[in-house]
Each structure stands twice: as structure tokens, then as C-alpha cells.
Amino acid sequence: MKTNKTGLILYWIAVVYIVALGLGGSWLVRPIYRQMTLEQANQTIWALNSPLFGLWVSSVAIGSILAGIGMLLYVRAKGSRIWLFGLGIFAVLLIDILIKWHILPTPAHTPLLFGMGGALMVAFFLIILWLWAEKRLHLEGAEKTAADLQLAGYVFLIIAMWYLCGELSRPYQTALLELPHQSPLSTIVYLVLGWLFFLLSHYKSVQSLPKQE
């Protein structure tokens, strides 16, 4: 029972961190960096080298790791699995942070590796669909509906990935720089829909569970 409570506490700490700094901080930071020069922005509390900026820019990433660990504690997952989850994901995130802050050498943009990453994501998606179909054949009732909602989430996220890859690679493609800039709003819509259908999928799955007395 103690582990359950610890997990819930950690989860809600992560929620507050994400909402307060990740979402709330974004409302405060974005206007500054839209309306000021970099020199002017660095004179505010949201300067690029300030601890507050660091807490904000990493809030969703670190908060999501803490929330995940909290839920693993809550469901009483194996200790080894919790450590592997937390340390494994945090190690990848830490390397990325150190590169972004130029503490580790910044790798040059390599179109081949960029393309290979996209190809791998598409391959993973297609394999996931195959495995999804194999699993759905054995589901019944609400679980089938949950699986169908999950499939919609997968499709929306792979579409978002496709357009996001295009946006991210655009600065490195000379011909595309001549085109007028477009808002990435459609990508956000696909991401929101993907997460929404995953939420609905989990909600439907929970509905099919036996009630605890």
C-alpha cells in the first residue's frame, strides 16, 4: 500500500510540474521570444542560461518520466523494470540535453541518418499494425472497441510524424527555403487526435475491467 501511495504522490508532483512550468511557463515564455530580440530576452528571468528556462524547457520531458515512474510504482511493477524505465529514458534525454547545451559535441545534420530514422518509424508502425491485428483477433466486446480506437491513434501519430519530419528537415533543403513559411498547425492537430484516441482506447479498456469492491 505504501508503494501505491508513493507512486500517486510522484505522479501528482509530475502533473503539477508539467502543468505549472510546461504549460503555464509556455504562456509566459512564448511572447518574450516572439516580441524581443535574443539579447533583450536574455535580460529577463527567462534568459537561455537561467535555471528557470532550463526547468521550463525540460518540464514535459522530465515530468513525463516522473509520471511514468509514479504509475509503475502505483501498479507495483518489478523494481528492476522501474529502474530500467527511469534510468534508460533519462539517459537518452540527458544525452540530448547535453548536446543541445553544447556540453557534448553537436552532430552535423546527416540527411541519410535523418531519412533512416523516418524509415525505421514507418517500419515500426507497419509491424505494430500487424501485431495489432494478430491481437485483435482474440479480443471480445469492449476490448475490440478499445483496440480500434488505438489503431486510429497510431494512424494519426504516423501522419503527424510524416509532416513533422518535413518541417524539421526544411531548414536543410535550399529549394524549400524559398517557399513561404506555413504554420505547423496541422501537425499539432494530428498529434492531438492521436493522443485523444489513445486516451479513448484506455478509457474503453478500463470500462471492461471488473469492478473492485
12 and 86 share one domain: yes
Q: Which of 34, 69, 100 finishes a domain? A: 100
DSSP string, 45-92: TT-TTSHHHHHHHTHHHHHHHHHHHHHHHHTT--HHHHHHHHHHHHHH
Q: Give residue 101's pLDDT.
A: 81
In a domain, 73, yes or no: yes
Range of the domain at 149: 111-207
- pTM for the whole structure: 0.86
Q: Give residue 182's pLDDT.
A: 80
Q: Give residue 212's pLDDT.
A: 64
In a domain, 212, yes or no: no
* Ranges under pLDDT 70 in the chain: 1-3, 212-213
In a domain, 30, yes or no: yes
160 and 128 share one domain: yes
96 and 115 share one domain: no
129 and 185 share one domain: yes
Q: Give residue 213's pLDDT.
A: 56
Name the domain count of the chain.
Answer: 2
